[in-house]
Homo-oligomer: A and B are copies of this chain.
């Protein structure tokens, strides 16, 4: 095998050219199926390339051609079906606009993951929680679009407005006779989440006191465990609203195991609007967010920012409204 060289230790276009006894641009022609090359030469070049295990450098090519733009998508936890659903929507919208998607999972260390992503992409989209403002406008950083950003956030992002849907849900529940609702919140740092606070307030406006149960996870296991505790407590709630659908699924499985009838004894609802919610028994009532709309806005905003739109302009904040989907569980 002839001598591969260079930074990567792989053979380059020059190695192939030398091996085939042609110039580099003839190699380009052969590799890219371009015209103006004789069949004989082409075969000789391809053979040499194969022999050397030559693969064009995407950096070299990108530098010369511009290359396809890449969108970084930072998700918290691919194990929660919400994020794959989001990723699917983003991949489709981005693809339609000629962008490819680089996927990273920011388990625990979103800052590090974000920085790594930024170096390889032209814009980044993701859920960053309340700390997102810190990352905006990092020198040399890619434009960052936050998802489900708080109302008072100052950086570009898509806001999930759940106010109306939350009101509908609480009214629906109270009208159905709910008097002792509980919210299974996710609050890693102790302070209630925006969704949690919204629910408590909405119940309050209806004259109904609502328990808020914080905690440090947001998966099905936590939903199952915490709802088990709740159901065993002296004043068992007659409704449980979970921080997300995944936790709500955990709640449902606990109820089933404990022989607690849903919605007869306890009404259960989630947040997100995952398709699986329609497959379980009983089917899950939820506050659904339109991920297609979210993806459309997020991708559009990311591209606009990359193209120089101001990060503090009015167009840098988008809003998508959630809606109540009533199914069997509540």
A interface, CB within 8 angstroms of B: 7-8, 30-32, 46, 49-50, 53-63, 65-68, 70, 73, 78-79, 81, 83-85, 87-88, 91-92, 95, 100-105, 116-117, 119-122, 137, 139-142, 220, 249-250, 252-253, 256, 275-276, 278-281, 308
8 A-B pairs whose Cβ atoms sit less than 8 Å apart in the complex? A55-B140, A59-B59, A60-B63, A68-B119, A84-B87, A88-B105, A252-B279, A253-B281
Distance to closest chain B CB from A15 (angstroms): 14
Q: CA of A88 to CA of B276 in the docked complex: distance in angstroms?
A: 18
Q: Are B100 and A120 in contact (CB under 8 A)?
A: yes
A-B pairs with lowest CB-CB distance, top 4: A84-B84, A78-B88, A59-B62, A59-B63
Q: Are A281 and B279 in contact (CB under 8 A)?
A: no
Task: Provide the residues of chain B in CB contact with A121, threshold 8 Å.
Answer: 58
Task: Provide the residues of chain B in CB contact with A31, threshold 8 Å.
Answer: 139-140
Return the chain B residue nearest A49 by Cβ: B139
Given that A58-B121, A120-B70, A279-B252 are contacting pairs, would A103 and B105 also be in contact in the complex, using a CB cutoff of 8 Å? Answer: no
Other-chain contact of A66, B7, B79, B88, B142 (Cβ < 8 Å): B7
Given that A84-B83, A87-B84, A256-B281 are contacting pairs, would A140 and B49 also be in contact in the complex, using a CB cutoff of 8 Å? Answer: yes
Task: Provide the residues of chain B in CB contact with A116, threshold 8 Å.
Answer: 68, 100
Distance to closest chain B CB from A28 (angstroms): 10
Return the chain B residue nearest A33 by Cβ: B139
Given that A50-B139, A79-B85, A279-B250 are contacting pairs, would A66 and B103 also be in contact in the complex, using a CB cutoff of 8 Å? Answer: no
Return the chain B residue nearest A47 by Cβ: B139
Given that A59-B62, A280-B280 are contacting pairs, would A120 and B68 also be in contact in the complex, using a CB cutoff of 8 Å? Answer: yes
Task: Provide the residues of chain B in CB contact with A278, threshold 8 Å.
Answer: 253
Given that A66-B8, A220-B279, A256-B281 are contacting pairs, would A55 and B142 also be in contact in the complex, using a CB cutoff of 8 Å? Answer: yes
Q: Are A91 and B119 in contact (CB under 8 A)?
A: no
Return the chain B residue nearest A58 by Cβ: B120
